[in-house]
């Protein structure tokens, strides 16, 4: 009597109909979505719509009359500013004129260096002109240039660094002081020349670039002097100093004579004819005598 009949099926209880359904099954009613369309929409959800720019696309920003006028006004202001900058630069420095002083070739450089070191053998010192315009340095060896002074200045700085290194006195500060001192002397010399010509009302063909060129030629003699001092000691230094100083003074007098003293005969016909030629002569001689002083000042500390 204790055995249970296992073959009889159990009755199942019906689910309650009063309880609410927690999750509604919408899989049957949801429309089918293409996977490619889904991913394309997903990737495009970061792109802005055309409505953000007024509904007609981003081109409205450029077709707006106010925006176009503002862009045109900004362009005109930029062009005006550029023209003003170029005009101000041209007041103090002419690029075409600066190119004239660097129009050199190897033949001119070699001839000019020979004239700077051996000026006594040079006969013709007159600067040649073509239609009231001086010939370029490569066409006239007597024309001043800025290539040789620039290269000589750089070579002098490098040679000064080598001399200080040989004497175990090299340091970036000392080399920088040497370079700045040499540059300041050039500036002072040019300013003194310009002021002297202005105060004495001396009219000449000398420009600022001409004065820089003639003042910079001393670096050639300075290089020769320092090299002789390093190779032959103090005796070689003083011999080279005397030679380069005399050669430079002769060169300066003969060169500036064609620039500062070209119109003595025309001044002799006016009043005060004896004063102006004397002033021109004084400026020329003073400039020439001042060159050995600078050479010695800038080179004596490099040779011991």
DSSP-assigned letters across all residues of 145-191: -SHHHHHHHHHHHHHHHHHHHHTT---HHHHHHHHHHHHHHHHHHHH
Question: What is the spatial distance between Cα 81 and Cα 87, in angstroms, rounded to a whole number?
Answer: 10
Residue 266 lies in a domain: yes
**DSSP category for residue 54:** T
Answer left, alpha or beta for residue 272, where phi above 0 means left and psi between -120 and 50 means alpha: left
Question: What is the spatial distance between Cα 95 and Cα 103, in angstroms, rounded to a whole number?
Answer: 13
pLDDT in tens, 216-253: 999 999 999 999 999 999 999 999 999 999 999 999 99
Residue 224 lies in a domain: yes
Q: To the nearest whole percent, how much of the chain has pLDDT over 90?
A: 43
Q: For the residues 64-80, what does the mean pLDDT come to? A: 69
pLDDT in tens, 180-226: 999 999 999 999 999 988 888 777 778 899 999 999 999 999 999 99
Question: Whole domain around residue 258: which residue ranges?
Answer: 99-107+134-300
Q: Does 269 score more than 50 pLDDT? A: no
Q: Does 72 score more than 50 pLDDT? A: yes
Residue 87 lies in a domain: no
Residue 275 lies in a domain: yes
69: which 2 tokens? 């006028």
Please report the pLDDT score of residue 53 as a whole number. Answer: 44
pLDDT, mean over the chain? 77
Residue with the bigger pLDDT between 178 and 97: it is 178
Please report the pLDDT score of residue 1 as a whole number. Answer: 45
Q: What is the dihedral of CA 40, 43, 47, 49, to 10 degrees?
A: 30
Question: What is the spatial distance between Cα 88 and Cα 166, in angstroms, rounded to a whole number?
Answer: 46
Residue 14 lies in a domain: no
Residue with the bigger pLDDT between 29 and 106: it is 106
Residue 241 lies in a domain: yes
Number of domains the chain is built from: 1
Residue 26 lies in a domain: no
Residue 66 lies in a domain: no
123-129 own/partner pairs: CB under 8 Å, 24+ apart: 125/254, 125/255, 125/257, 125/258, 126/258, 127/258, 127/259
Distances (CA, A) of 35 to 20, 41, 125: 34, 10, 93
Q: How confident is the model at residue 155 (pLDDT cuts 50, 70, 90)?
A: very high
pLDDT in tens, 96-133: 788 899 999 999 999 999 999 999 999 989 888 888 78
145: which 2 tokens? 């240039």
């Amino acid at each position: 009597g204790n055995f249970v009949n296992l073959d009889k099926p159990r009755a199942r209880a019906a689910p309650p109909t009063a309880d609410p359904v927690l999750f509604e099954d919408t899989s049957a009613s949801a429309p089918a979505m293409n996977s490619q369309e889904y991913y394309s929409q997903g990737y495009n959800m970061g792109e802005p719509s055309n409505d953000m720019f007024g509904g007609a696309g981003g081109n409205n920003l450029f077709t707006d009359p106010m925006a176009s006028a503002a862009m045109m006004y900004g362009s005109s202001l930029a062009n005006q500013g550029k023209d003003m900058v170029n005009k101000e630069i041209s007041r103090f420095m002419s690029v075409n004129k600066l190119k004239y002083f660097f129009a050199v070739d190897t033949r001119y450089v070699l001839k000019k260096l020979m004239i700077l070191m051996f000026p006594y053998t040079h006969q013709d010192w007159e600067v040649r002109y073509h239609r009231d315009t001086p010939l370029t340095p490569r066409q006239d060896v007597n024309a001043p240039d800025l290539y040789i002074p620039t290269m000589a200045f750089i070579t002098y700085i490098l040679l000064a660094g080598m001399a200080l290194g040989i004497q175990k006195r090299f340091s970036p500060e000392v080399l920088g002081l040497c370079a700045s001192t040499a540059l300041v002397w050039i500036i002072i010399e040019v300013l003194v020349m310009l002021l002297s010509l202005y105060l004495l009302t001396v009219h000449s063909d000398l420009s600022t670039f001409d004065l820089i060129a003639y003042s910079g030629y001393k670096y050639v003699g300075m290089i020769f002097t320092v090299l002789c001092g390093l190779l032959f000691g103090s005796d070689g230094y003083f011999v080279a100093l005397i030679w380069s100083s005399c050669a430079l003074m002769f060169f300066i007098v003969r060169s500036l004579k064609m620039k500062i003293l070209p119109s003595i005969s025309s001044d002799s016909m006016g009043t005060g004819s004896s004063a102006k030629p004397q002033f021109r002569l004084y400026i020329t001689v003073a400039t020439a005598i001042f060159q050995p002083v600078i050479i010695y000042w800038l080179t004596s500390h490099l040779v011991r």
